[in-house]
Amino acid sequence: MSLRLLVWAVPAFLYAVFFFWYTSFGGPLTSEEVDRYMSVFEERGGEAAGLVRLRMFLESDTGNDFIMINAIHMKDTPDPVDGVEPGDSSDDVMAKYMNYMWPALLGRASHPVMFGPAVSNALDVVGIDNARVWNRGAAMRYRSRRDMMEITTNPAFSGRHEFRTASLEKTIAYPIEDALVLTDPRVLLFFVLLSGAGVLNAVIRR
C-alpha cells in the first residue's frame, strides 16, 4: 500500500470504527422491549405518574440519540442511607453513584456534553414553584433510549440510585433530540480527520 493511500485509509478506518460505535442501529424500541423495561421499574415500586411518563417516553422512541438536560440542586448534607459514611458530602455520595454510571455510560457511547456550576440563581422562572435556586447543570448524551434502559435496569443500578437521591435537594431532567448537526462529534471528527489527511497528503505530494 502506498503512503498516500495509507494517509487516507487510516483516517477512514478510524472514522468507521467511531461511527459504528457511536451510532445506534437498533431502531425504535419494540413493544416487547418497552414492557420488559417497564416491568423492572414496576417491580422497584416507582411512582405511578412517573411510570406513566416513562412508558410514554419509551413508546415514542425514534431510535435516535438524545440529550438529557439536568438542572441540579445538591443537598448541603446527604441523607444517611446505607453506604454513606460520616462526613461524606453530597458530592462524595454522588461520586458513589457515578462509580457505576461512568463505565456503564462510556461503554454505550453515552457521555456528558456539558457540566458546570451555576454562577447565579435562576434569572427567569415562569410557572414553576421552588425553581429559583440551582447550584449546577449538566447535559448527558445517550446513544439511544435502549441504551439508557439497559443502564438503568441493570440490577447494579438499583442500589447505586439511592446515592443519587440521597445527595439531591431537587432536580429537573428532561430529554431533547439535538437539532444542531455541527455539535455532533461524528461531524466534527469527520472534518478533523479529513483536514488532517488532506494536510498530510499535501506534504507527501511536495
Q: Kindly give the confidence (pLDDT) of every residue in the chain, 206 residues in length, as a single tens digit, with 9 standing for 90 and above.
A: 688 788 899 999 999 999 999 999 999 999 999 999 999 999 988 788 999 999 999 999 999 999 999 999 999 999 988 888 988 999 999 999 998 899 999 999 999 999 999 999 999 999 999 999 999 999 999 999 999 999 999 988 877 788 999 999 999 999 999 888 888 999 999 999 999 988 888 888 87
Can you give the pLDDT at residue 69? 97
pLDDT for res 89: 94
Nearest to 51 by CA among 67, 33, 37: 37
Q: What is the per-residue pLDDT for 57?
A: 97
Give the predicted TM-score (pTM) of the model: 0.90
**What pLDDT is recorded for position 6?**
86
Q: Domain 3-205 falls in which CATH fold?
A: Alpha-Beta Plaits (3.30.70)
How far, in Å, CA of 74 to CA of 96, rounded?
A: 14
Residues 7 and 201: beta-carbon distance below 8 Å: yes
Alpha-carbon torsion 91, 96, 99, 101, what sign? negative
Q: Of 186, 164, 23, nearest to 99 (Cα)?
A: 164
Instruction: Domain ranges for the chain, please list them.
Output: 3-205
Cβ count near 7 (within 10 Å): 19
The pLDDT score that the predictor gives to residue 1 is 60
The DSSP H or E segment spanning 196 is helix 185-205
What's the pLDDT at 123? 94
- Give the other-Cβ count within 10 Å of 6's Cβ: 13
Residue 206's pLDDT is 75
Spatial CA neighbour of 62 closest among 28, 38, 31, 91: 28
- Amino acid 104: pLDDT: 94
